[in-house]
Structure formats: structure tokens, C-alpha cells
A and B are shown apart, each in its own frame.
Chain A
Amino acid sequence: MHSNDAQMLVLTVLATGPLHGYAINTAIEELTGRKLGPGSLYGALSRLEARELIGPAGEAGERHRTMQITDAGRDTLRVELEQMARVSQTGLRALGIAPT
């Protein structure tokens, strides 16, 4: 799984509401069937926070940092998902499968 995929997954699960690191990985496991490794998950969280696409939801100094998606993060996620949907529909049509 590439780092961009990890960032997409993190943004997707955070779109449902604020979560801390372990809960983010549990949600990703429910979504994809497998957890991200610690390097992929926390690397993605660091990159997303540096790009201000996510931010802390709780108070500073909490043992487990709860993160939430920002408005910029929602916009980025929407653009990425729409692009993925276009690719998916094109691919399914090419295979003769009607997109649901």
C-alpha cells in the first residue's frame, strides 16, 4: 500500500468523526480487511497534519491524540474520491459491468 493510499484511508475514516490513532487503524481494518503498519499509519497522520488536512480534536497533552478532519481535508478527500469514482466507473464500463 502506497503512502498516498494510507493518507486516503485515514481521511476517509476521519470523515465519519474524530478518532485517535488506534481507533483509526481499527476503522481502516473494518473498511479494508487489514490494518496499516505503524510506519504507514503514523507517517500518513504526520503528513496529513503537516498539510493541515487533519488537526487535533482534543486538548494538548492527552495521552492518545484524537484527530479530526479539517475543511481543507474534506475538500481534498472529496476531489480524490470523485476522481477515484470516475476511474472506477470507466473501468467497470470497460469490463461490461454496470456501475452500481
Chain B
Amino acid sequence: MRAAVLITRLYPPAVRERWGAEISHEVSESGIRSWPDALGGAARLWLHPGDWPETLAGQTCRVLAVALFAVTAVTALLLRATEPSAALTADVGHPATSLWLAPIVVGIALAAPRPPLRWDALRHLTTVAFRTLTAPAVAVVAMFVTGRSGLIEHPTGLAHAALIVYYWATLGLTAICLCTLIARVARTVTTPSTRRLCAALLLLGTGLALAATQSLLAIVWTPAGTGSLTVTLALGLLAAATISAGQDLRRASA
């Protein structure tokens, strides 16, 4: 796939629908020297959802709801990559180190699309969910069955590498399919209002900032430096981006 097409795909949908062909044409015509500006332009637009024109009413809210779930999925994968970490837990047994999760859970609840309470709509949603989640569900079940069957006790070499690849591919597929499900159902269900989405983005950002702070404190204060600097930076960037988008949306809707 050409770089110009890839770069164009990084733009928010409303911008891509209007200017995608032109952006792609200009990037491919100007070559590599236009890449920083094109990438910077895409990043600036994602941080300023109030600047997006709308093709259909509520498009910005639908896209942001999906983006919020995508950020949550990336965070989950990021933390899974470093687990077990004593600095960032996610269980009620360790309330102090699991505090970061509370605003994130409230944010997700606020941003979740509300299904209409009608039989035909619920039947349609069930069908969409079944079609979208069948593949990751099969992959997860196969992983559990393989793990519990006792067929592979202590894998080594190629088998070990293949199992790790399979494990991460399953997690990645599950994350992508969950975001796809939100994108598909967002067309038919009641999407959250701009106000609720602002609050959801700010809560998610707060949770991520708390997680980044806890991770940083673990690096600074523990003798062995149990935290990961990469994860701390990634969490901090996600927090800054989410809070910035939430504030911009609040400004635009005021």
C-alpha cells in the first residue's frame, strides 16, 4: 500500500470523506518532504474534534466514542505487556494501586452507546455482535482449550514463539473486533451526547494520567525500578491526547 494512502487513512473520517483524494494526491506528488506536515495535520485534527465538519448529524460523537474505546483497548494491551506490575493493579484487593481504573470505568460507562429498548433493534444488535465477535471468541476459546488440555506443557523453541504470537494476535484481534462492534452499533443506537463524551474523555484522560503517575512513582521510588519508562511515557501521551480532545470538544460545544 502506498504511503500516501496510509497517511490519508490516519485523518478523522469526516476530513477523509471530504479531502481524502486531495490529501493523498498532494502527499504522493510532494513525496517524503510532505510527510511530517501531513502526519502533523492528522494528529492536530484528532486532538481538536471540535474542528471536524460533519457529514451526518452526530458523526463526531460516534467517531469519538469509537476512538475512546480504541484508547482503552490500547491501554489494556499496553498494561498486559508489562503485567504483572505491583505499581498498576486492577483488582479490589489493592485499592490504592487500582484507583486509576475508577475514572476509566466511569468514562467508558458514559461513552457506551445506549441500545434502544425495542425488540427489532435488540435483535439487530445481537446479530451484529454475534457476527463481529465470533472470530475473537473462537480464538479465545481455542487458546483456553489449548492451555488447559495439557497437550503443550513446556513449549520450547518454535512452539513457544508460535504460542506467544497466537496469544498476542488473539488479544489484538479481540481489541480490534470490540472497537469494530462499537463502530457498527453506533450507527443504530443512541450515541452519547457531546456533553457526556466530553466528560467521558476527561475521565479517561484522568485515569490514564493517574496510571502514568503511579507508573512513574514506581520507577522513582522502588529500588529495583519495577515500572517501565516506555509504558509511563505511552500512558502519559495517551492521557494528554485524551484530555486535550475532551477540552477541545467542550470548548467547541460551549
- Chain A partners chain B: yes
Q: Would you list which residues of chain A between 18 and 65 have a CB under 8 Å from chain B?
A: 20-22, 25, 36-43, 45-47, 49-50, 63-65
Contact check: which of B22, B30, B36 meets A42 at CB < 8 Å? Answer: B22
CB distance from A62 to the nearest CB of B (A): 10
A3: Cβ under 8 A from any B Cβ: yes
User: Whole-angstrom distance between the alpha carbons of A38 and B40 in the complex?
Assistant: 10
Residue of B nearest to A24 (CB): B22
User: Whole-angstrom distance between the alpha carbons of A50 and B50 in the complex?
Assistant: 8
CB-CB < 8 A to A22: which residues of B?
Answer: 22, 25-26
B77: Cβ under 8 A from any A Cβ: no
Contact yes or no, B44 A39, CB < 8 A: yes
User: Whole-angstrom distance between the alpha carbons of A47 and B51 in the complex?
Assistant: 5
Interface of A is mostly: helix
User: Whole-angstrom distance between the alpha carbons of A63 and B19 in the complex?
Assistant: 9
Contact yes or no, A38 B34, CB < 8 A: yes
Contact yes or no, A37 B41, CB < 8 A: yes
Contact yes or no, A45 B19, CB < 8 A: yes
Residue of B nearest to A21 (CB): B22
Contact check: which of B18, B48, B52 meets A65 at CB < 8 Å? Answer: B18
Contact yes or no, B22 A39, CB < 8 A: no
CB distance from A26 to the nearest CB of B (A): 11
The 3 closest A-B pairs by CB, nearest first: A39-B41, A37-B37, A21-B22
Contacts from B to A (Cβ < 8 Å): 11, 14-15, 18-19, 21-23, 25-27, 30, 34, 36-42, 44-45, 48, 50-54
Contacts from A to B (Cβ < 8 Å): 3, 20-22, 25, 36-43, 45-47, 49-50, 63-65
